[in-house]
Structure 1
């Protein structure tokens, strides 16, 4: 079939694209930022730059199309962003499908939409409005609502894996919230079957869930065990504190935010009967991670915590240096050291306080949620400053290298830590298409 796949570079969209192509379908894929082809576009695949949150002329894109699949969506951005991407844009697409007489439309929504919590959560409300409009149109339409979807590259899955790796994990209400996670491969298999099932699922809302509900605590304990770690140690925390932490996590771009926390709090469960009817036996959470995958996934899960600890340590170094220069160490002695470095007397105190201010600012920036490009510049600037300080001391006061407390040799692991953070701040290479195997990336 000729399939229009909207949101083809998202977490579910890119996997769905590969699966549909492997089943012999021809794809017209849309994304805000289509990937650059590595060796040409695979046969039967076409890419179009489309921003679903902006006005789109869908008529030419729907020409010759048999099935439309909307896989576009996101967490975060606020009420206006949700309304544009999840409601206004999809409704315009669905209405264009009705005018064009499209044979089949599949909307990927979110489990929980349609319930009483919708009006309180902009994310759920935005999904519900689009779902309702689609099902009211004269179309062979189906709404698929996934629960928590586990895939190693998914933002929420990475965040939950990272949380499960912590030695002590704060959980609202002790983690009693009910979830029913589904593996991404099972979800994609179900979506492929729904895209191909003309007429049989018209007007239906299908829950994409795992075989059985479980508590959030049990799910995290399962992810932790799969990483080869010991028992989960959960610490119950008040709901208000969790909400505050969720807001902070959202600003830091961790994949967990207020809406994600609210979805977990409200539960995310459903009946797996529809998946069985599609010929899919969803795997349990204990089978999400294969033994050969565990070491790499465990390291990836631990890295966010390790990176946060490294940044805290660096910030502490800069702030301690600032505090010492501002007066914890006698100012006269600090100025005298600058004199040994060749700084004239009138400039010694201004330079001492200036360097202390710079150290304090670097400590703040070290913990700031900067973009990757700015992070790389920050780590490079800190490394250059450490090298500069070390060079000046080496030339003017070489005896510090022989100090029994090793104040200079400690700069070496700091430089190594900055190099590691700079390496981690390099964004992944752009996702590309390849014609070597038809439709793989």
Structure 2
């Protein structure tokens, strides 16, 4: 078993991944900027990807580092994420880390990628610039309670009696359940067949964003929402619209929307050779996300 550092341990993916890694027998360090307030499993470690000295301390004695941080809520996210990746790569190499695992974004390199997806590709490269083998899992929308992309979908179909949507809703994507993301992340940790490789991960179906919204609406309340597609609705206008009807801020929304005109589907299923198992369907992913949200609200 390995000593594993999870960056972003309190985030959407990290807070689910830490207990899964512990269950698998790993010694886990949960990296957060506020370790004094961390109440989850694992050993809390205070560090910031923007502070090289703090990374040197956090990575000391670590075998595998899982990189789950990004700056999508910042207008200058491309520069910030690149600087953080350079710093983390250098610190990981200096500490003798033997594997970095990174969550990237689906999208074929031959396509015209959005700033968001280009940034994810750049981070993939920068994390390995100092020689530590990087394992990349590329995903599209991750469906689970608290995930930004899923929350955009859920809140839109919940809050609006009808929707006027841009033509990018006809773009195909391949959503994946948070449970499968965690299973894949845990499965590639310290796996010799995963070192230095890029894997594409997704659920069982390729759906348009329109399909996803209709399924989510039916699952949430059994209702059908009238949806009108318009030929022009710019990313900027779309992001303001999202900010009005959801709690997703305009900067994050625009960075995500920019990617939605690019088809993001799985073309390589080799991850199943390393981490076997059938992923969940979109409907089951939605059902679990809604059930977790309901359980969370009951506990308040």
Instruction: Report the TM range for the smaller structure's normalisation.
Output: 0.7 to 0.9
| Greater fraction helix | 1
* Number of aligned residues: 293
Counterpart of 2:277 in structure 1 is: 280
Partner of residue 162 from structure 1, selected from 155, 159, 170: 155
Q: Pairwise mapping of residues 422-433 of structure 1 onto structure 2 (< 5 A)?
A: none
Q: Pairwise mapping of residues 334-413 of structure 1 onto structure 2 (< 5 A)?
A: none
Partner of residue 146 from structure 1, selected from 134, 139, 144: 139
Q: Structure 2 vs 1, CA of residues 78 and 23 (structure 1 numbering), >3 Å: closer, same or farther?
A: same
Q: Structure 2 vs 1, CA of residues 282 and 249 (structure 1 numbering), >3 Å: closer, same or farther?
A: same
| Greater fraction strand | 2
Unaligned ranges ≥5, structure 1: 301-427, 430-441
Counterpart of 2:123 in structure 1 is: 130
Q: Is the 8 A contact 2:203 2:281 kept in 1?
A: yes
Q: What displacement does 1:272 show?
A: 6.0
Counterpart of 2:15 in structure 1 is: 14
Counterpart of 1:221 in structure 2 is: 214
Counterpart of 2:237 in structure 1 is: 244
Q: Is the 8 A contact 1:94 1:134 kept in 2?
A: yes
Q: Is the 8 A contact 1:150 1:184 kept in 2?
A: yes
Q: Structure 2 vs 1, CA of residues 137 and 174 (structure 1 numbering), >3 Å: closer, same or farther?
A: closer
Q: Pairwise mapping of residues 80-159 of structure 1 onto structure 2 (< 5 A)?
A: 81-84=77-80, 86-112=81-107, 114=109, 116-118=111-113, 121=115, 123-159=116-152
Q: What displacement does 1:276 show?
A: 2.4
Q: TM-score, normalised by structure 2?
A: 0.85
Distance in 1 of aligned mates of 2:108 and 2:73: 16
Q: Is the 8 A contact 2:32 2:47 kept in 1?
A: yes
Higher relative CO (Cα under 8 Å, sequence separation at least 6) belongs to 2
Q: What displacement does 1:24 show?
A: 1.9
Q: Pairwise mapping of residues 293-372 of structure 1 onto structure 2 (< 5 A)?
A: 293=290
Q: What displacement does 1:295 show?
A: 11
Q: What displacement does 1:59 show?
A: 2.8
Match of 1:91, SS state, is helix
Q: What displacement does 1:89 show?
A: 1.1
Deviations 1:342-373 (A, max 9, x none): xxxxxxxxxxxxxxxxxxxxxxxxxxxxxxxx
Partner of residue 71 from structure 1, selected from 65, 68, 73: 68
Q: Structure 2 vs 1, CA of residues 102 and 29 (structure 1 numbering), >3 Å: closer, same or farther?
A: same
Distance in 1 of aligned mates of 2:5 and 2:280: 29
Larger radius of gyration: 1
Distance in 2 of aligned mates of 1:83 and 1:60: 24
Partner of residue 55 from structure 2, selected from 55, 58, 75: 58
* Pairwise CA RMSD: 3.0
Partner of residue 182 from structure 2, selected from 185, 188, 191: 188
Deviations 1:25-72 (A, max 9, x none): 11122122336255xx75xx3212222134434333222211111111
Q: Structure 2 vs 1, CA of residues 152 and 35 (structure 1 numbering), >3 Å: closer, same or farther?
A: farther
